[in-house]
Structure 1
Amino acid sequence: MITPDEITAKALRLYPKVIQAWLDDRELFPHVLRSSKTLGDDIVESISAVQELRNRSKERLGYGYSVEWVRRKPRSSGSNEFPNRILFETRDDLLRLVAKQDEFCALQSSVAKIRRHVPELEAWLRSHTMQLAGVAGAVDNLISVVQWFRKNPRPNRFAREIPLAVHGKFIEQRQRILQQWFDVEGVLSPDAIRADESNFFRRYWLRDWEPLITLRCLDEATQARFGLPCSEASIPIDHFNSVPLDGVRIFVVENLTNLRTFPQASNSIVIFGMGNAAVHLRTLDCLQSNEVVYWGDLDVFGLRILSQFRQLVGEARSLFMDSHTMREFPDLVHSPKKDYKIQKLPALLLPDEEEAFHACNEPKLQLEQEWIPHHAVLAALASLGDVP
């Protein structure tokens, strides 16, 4: 037979449906609970369990579950009342039992405010009821943020600079729900959203910490273009993009020592790719209009990044990332420190790069870029010739 604690657990599981029924203006009560009415073999224990069920019911407490009783006479005892049906007669009965009255009241207030001020969120309300219940106390501030962004699209300022009566980190801490709201059709105008941007701040035209691009200018003329006091520097992406870089050869490497020891070359720069060049460098305008040479580790992961990089910039060359390199430096090829599963062949590799991928994949081999001798790097750059 069901116990009072089991009834409470069922009520908690029913709570989201109570919210949904209220949102849909649909009546859910009285609500009958499915439960076993089978009594145990020990009649004394059964009668005790029945008494506990009665003592914690609405009949005794004034709220909670109700029990419809039926009189039975078991063979081994006299006539007694046993539960025939257990139900919640009203929504308030259930809410009081599971101590959700205050939460539900706050949720009702929040929904009313959202429907009044941001009616476009009606469908969101119906699919995110429990999430809303968790932020009911912040709804006034959330609505004020939405209204401000509606009046001030593309603000181009830091979130903490927005003139609202919310604490400094409010938008940062609530960005998940704000993004859900902002992305609902009609809440913001389409031109107020960068649809291809996943970063919350940049997506809604807020200023954010700008990633720094670490580069080294390989000749004095290119250094002068950037206005740098030294050949190597880390600069914000916006400043990088403000420098006109037509007719420049751009090398991308994944090792800082290689960047700092890269040979001098006219009209050239070398950039640190930070381990995932296709992600971190995709906002650099110059990659679309100049010759680009990518140099990463010669292993399955480096070749996968090369493929991703080509998706970004088009026909990028590779350096020391082919089967010829493995044959030229067989003593430098070794097994990686960490094991990994066999990888799928990336899409945008050239035939000799594909050959290197297969050679590294099955036996699990690699040739790290910093192992390439400096004289070989000099020879490779000489073979590239002048910048076209």
Structure 2
Amino acid sequence: MSTSSKATWGLLPEDILIMLKNKHWQNSRNLKSLLSGGDSFPLVVPLKPPRGNAAIQNIGHFQNFISSWKSFSQDSINGADQERGDPKSKGCKVIWEKRNFRSLAEQDVPTHLNISDIGSLACMLGSDEELQLQDWLTKIRYIFESLPSQLNSHKASSQEGSSYYGNSDQQLFQVLIDHLETLNSFEQDDLELLVKLLPQLQKGMGQGCYLRALPVTFVDTKFIEKNLRIIESVACALLDGGVRNTGLMAWLDCKEKPKDWLLVKPLCDESRSKLGGLPLLRLSSDTLQDFELPARNILVIENEQCCLALSNIPNTIAVSGGGKNVSWMKAGWLVDKNVGYWGDIDSEGLAILSDVRSRLSTITPLMMDEVTVKTFAERMVQESDSVSRDPIALTDNELALFKRLRSGYFANKRLEQERLPLEYVTQHIRDWIE
């Protein structure tokens, strides 16, 4: 155990190094604040000198405390005398004060360590931090120097940036610091792509296409997709502050990539023929809001596996796999269809049914009733109480079933739709369409 660990006062240089790394360098928020400049420096670090009788009660630690900081100060003086240009020598200064202690002569005691700038901090922490800082600043300098002059014409009137970058555009500098993690991961090729891309970006240039179809040269659109957040922030700083309000995708007039693909299965030959003979399709929610499916009966099923098991249902197309994603069911074309919904019988399944009905009031629930629960009660399983509030769009009977499931009225709380026999399911669906 080190001497310093035995006392609550008298921090040694090695204690300070650990504290500075943990508090400032390895803490992303604090590090970005320091890199941004402003009022962060100088850092004033208390060394916790002893008070009262503490020094004489642990004289060994007191002597180590004094000698360690004298050695630290001497190393700095020697470094400055050798004119090495070492930030540790010029930017880290130990503050000493004269203190009187009982049974001891007047002593010069170190009270604080002043660190003047980010470079001095990095140098004090070690070579890894020095190299990391230099890498960040080199990348930032490259971006500034490589951008076309028309993007930087406003720099002359901007505020002074970080002391390590001089009179550069502070807004752009701050953006790059805010995205330090991305900047840290960039190789030289990534930096080149960034500075080649920015002059090409124009409001509305996407003309309603997907991002991958954006008409840019030299830069692959996968790079844009992968680094959308930093590109958006830099575009806001250099091109148009309105990007902040709309987001880069809307500013470019690009459509978002579909994220919620639904399984569409025609359940009869006639419907399959109208869909080009395809037995299965994947369509996004956005597409389904505008694309009318060519069948009289639309069966919405929570689980894809249950959908795949169905066939030979006249004039019917099934849509499945959406789970809680039922936003597409506000589509206007559904109003003129016979629409059924079949999901799990549990609190969450009934909550989804409520969401469905709030979008399409004419929906017909299938096999989501107490009769089905009682018929197959032995197949029920437990469910965690994931829905805490009563759904607002259930019928009286559905709400009563919801409450009974939640209260433990039945042996268990969940009857999964996969647990129902296929013949039972098929018969109820045929009864619904007929």
TM-score in terms of structure 2 length: 0.67
Q: Residue 202 of structure 2 corresponds to which residue in structure 1?
A: 150
Q: 2:92 aligns with which of 47, 59, 65?
A: 65
Q: Residue 221 of structure 1 corresponds to which residue in structure 2?
A: 270
Please, which moves more after superposition, 270-279 or 241-250? 241-250
Q: CA deviation at 1:102?
A: 1.1
Alpha-carbon distance change, 78 to 60 in structure 1, aligned in 2, over 3 angstroms: farther
Q: CA deviation at 1:319?
A: 0.7
Structure 1 CA distance for aligned equivalents of residues 178 and 244 of structure 2: 24
Confirm or deny that 1:43 pairs with 2:62.
no
Structure 2 CA distance for aligned equivalents of residues 210 and 30 of structure 1: 48
Identity value in percent: 18
Alpha-carbon distance change, 166 to 376 in structure 1, aligned in 2, over 3 angstroms: same
Q: CA deviation at 1:353?
A: 1.5
Matches within 5 A, 1:289-308: 290-308=337-355
Q: CA deviation at 1:297?
A: 1.1
Amino acid at match of 1:105: L
Amino acid at match of 2:337: N
Q: Residue 227 of structure 2 corresponds to which residue in structure 1?
A: 174
Amino acid at match of 1:227: G
Structure 2 CA distance for aligned equivalents of residues 318 and 348 of structure 1: 12
Matches within 5 A, 1:1-388: 1-12=10-21, 13-14=23-24, 20=33, 23=36, 26=38, 28-38=40-50, 40=55, 41-57=57-73, 58-61=76-79, 62-72=89-99, 74-76=101-103, 80-98=107-125, 99-100=129-130, 101-103=133-135, 105-106=137-138, 109=141, 116=152, 126=174, 129-132=177-180, 134-135=182-183, 137=186, 138=190, 141-150=193-202, 152-154=205-207, 156-157=209-210, 159=212, 163-166=216-219, 169-178=222-231, 185-187=241-243, 190=246, 193=249, 205=254, 208=257, 213-228=262-277, 232-237=279-284, 244-245=292-293, 248-256=296-304, 258-262=306-310, 264-278=312-326, 286-287=333-334, 290-327=337-374, 329=375, 331-332=377-378, 334-336=380-382, 339-340=384-385, 343-363=388-408, 364-374=412-422, 376-377=424-425, 379-381=427-429, 383-384=431-432
Alpha-carbon distance change, 316 to 102 in structure 1, aligned in 2, over 3 angstroms: same
Are the equivalent residues in 2 in contact too, given 1:64–1:97 (CA < 8 A)?
no
Q: 3-state SS of the aligned residue for 1:82?
A: strand
Alpha-carbon distance change, 294 to 173 in structure 1, aligned in 2, over 3 angstroms: same
Structure 2 CA distance for aligned equivalents of residues 95 and 283 of structure 1: 57
Structure 2 portions without partners, runs of 5+: 1-9, 80-88, 156-168
Q: 3-state SS of the aligned residue for 1:8?
A: helix
TM-score in terms of structure 1 length: 0.74
Alpha-carbon distance change, 7 to 292 in structure 1, aligned in 2, over 3 angstroms: same
Alpha-carbon distance change, 256 to 27 in structure 1, aligned in 2, over 3 angstroms: closer
Are the equivalent residues in 2 in contact too, given 1:310–1:348 (CA < 8 A)?
yes
Please, which moves more after superposition, 65-74 or 130-139? 130-139
Alpha-carbon distance change, 222 to 359 in structure 1, aligned in 2, over 3 angstroms: same
Q: CA deviation at 1:294?
A: 0.8
Q: 3-state SS of the aligned residue for 1:56?
A: helix
Alpha-carbon distance change, 286 to 43 in structure 1, aligned in 2, over 3 angstroms: same
Please, which moves more after superposition, 180-189 or 257-266? 180-189
Are the equivalent residues in 2 in contact too, given 1:292–1:316 (CA < 8 A)?
yes
Structure 1 portions without partners, runs of 5+: 196-202
Are the equivalent residues in 2 in contact too, given 1:63–1:96 (CA < 8 A)?
no
Per-residue CA deviation, residues 88-127 of structure 1 (Å, 9 max, x unaligned), is: 24554334323344156347637857983899x9779658
Q: CA deviation at 1:182?
A: 6.8
Alpha-carbon distance change, 267 to 147 in structure 1, aligned in 2, over 3 angstroms: farther
Structure 1 CA distance for aligned equivalents of residues 45 and 305 of structure 2: 69
Per-residue CA deviation, residues 189-214 of structure 1 (Å, 9 max, x unaligned), is: 9597459xxxxxxx963674776543
Structure 2 CA distance for aligned equivalents of residues 143 and 265 of structure 1: 57
Q: 3-state SS of the aligned residue for 1:367?
A: coil
Q: CA deviation at 1:130?
A: 4.7
Structure 2 CA distance for aligned equivalents of residues 379 and 27 of structure 1: 74
Alpha-carbon distance change, 358 to 20 in structure 1, aligned in 2, over 3 angstroms: same
Alpha-carbon distance change, 368 to 27 in structure 1, aligned in 2, over 3 angstroms: closer
Number of aligned positions between the proteins: 373
Q: 3-state SS of the aligned residue for 1:353?
A: helix
Structure 2 CA distance for aligned equivalents of residues 226 and 259 of structure 1: 17
Alpha-carbon distance change, 18 to 320 in structure 1, aligned in 2, over 3 angstroms: closer
Per-residue CA deviation, residues 344-378 of structure 1 (Å, 9 max, x unaligned), is: 32232222211221122221422222343455445
Q: 3-state SS of the aligned residue for 2:60?
A: helix
Q: Residue 200 of structure 1 corresponds to which residue in structure 2?
A: none
